[in-house]
Amino acid sequence: MTRTITCLIYDMDGLLLDTEGIYTEVTQQIVGEYGKVFDWSVKKKIIGLRAIQAAQIIVESLDLPISPQDYLDSRKDVLLEKFKDTAALPGAKELTTHFYQHGITQALATSSSSPMFEAKHEKHEKWFSQFKEIVRGDDPELKEGKPAPDIFLLAAKRLGVDPAECLVFEDAPSGKEAALAAGMSVVVVPDPNMDHSLYSDATQILSSLNNFDPEYWGLPKFT
């Protein structure tokens, strides 16, 4: 690559942590009470978005007789409990640990609100200490959620790095768009159920974090 990469910024849900199945399970329980089905035709629209944005799309797409906030309220306690046992996705810990040991600056930029983040973080406190900066979806300085570039630009600003020197890891189309809008390079690891044409303008597409090649980006190679 011609760009010099000095900072890595990661999305969290569906990229580092295996949370998407939990979201799907809980959402289906809620919409099922109204005779609706939450499938990939709806899920693909909301991956990577802030909770309230996703809730609005779910309520409108499935014509639910509740408000987006009602939907969020009904799922909150169940999600908080289930997220306490969230597992890391393949290659996630190995990847971040490798770069942490080599002194590469790393950050987390997640659409998750603080309560949801804390539940997911509980089991992975030591691992997440590798990130020099963590920006959450309800950060008071964050104006717009993904696909706006704000969350990635805020992370870069706090780290004091040039956005052009940041490499973002994402799984969601909205996150990919946000990274590109921020002037950053972006590696995407889409869910197998997602249409890969939605990622055609990504810098690189991988099937797993295990397939990432640091040397391609001028980063310290795996040993």
Please state the φ and ψ torsions of residue 105, each to the nearest 5 degrees.
-65, 130
Whether 11 is catalytic: yes
Cβ contact 141:154 at 8 Å: yes
Please name each of the domains of the chain with its CATH number: 7-18+86-217 (3.40.50.1000), 20-84 (1.10.150.240)
Q: Supply 184's token pair.
A: 């950053």
Catalytic annotation on 201? no
Q: Identify the band that residue 84 occupies on the pLDDT scale cut at 50, 70 and 90.
A: very high
Mind listing the pLDDT tens digit for each residue in 10-62?
999 999 999 989 999 999 999 999 999 999 999 989 988 889 999 999 999 99
**Residue 173: C-alpha distances to residues 6, 53, 86 (Å):** 24, 14, 23
Catalytic one among 13, 139, 150, 171? 13
User: Over the stretch 133-148, which tens digit does the pLDDT of each residue have?
Assistant: 999 999 999 999 999 9
Please tell me the distance from the alpha carbon of residue 2 to that of residue 130, in angstroms, as a whole number.
27
Say which residues have a Cβ less than 8 Å from residue 49's Cβ, sequence separation at least 6.
Answer: 57, 111, 145, 146, 172, 174
Does the pLDDT at position 3 exceed 90?
A: no
The Cα–Cα gap between 7 and 192 comes to: 27
- Band (pLDDT 50/70/90 cuts) for residue 190 is very high
pLDDT of residue 63: 96
Would you place residue 218 in the very low, low, confident or very high pLDDT band (cuts 50, 70, 90)? very high
Phi-psi region of 50 (alpha: psi -120 to 50; beta: other; left: phi over 0): beta
Span 150-188, pLDDT tens digits = 999 999 999 999 999 999 999 999 999 999 999 999 999
Per-residue confidence band for 196, with pLDDT thresholds at 50, 70 and 90? confident
Q: Are 179 and 168 in contact (CB under 8 A)?
A: yes
Mean pLDDT of all residues belonging to the chain? 95
% of the chain residues with pLDDT over 70: 99
Nearest to 161 by CA among 1, 8, 3, 2: 8
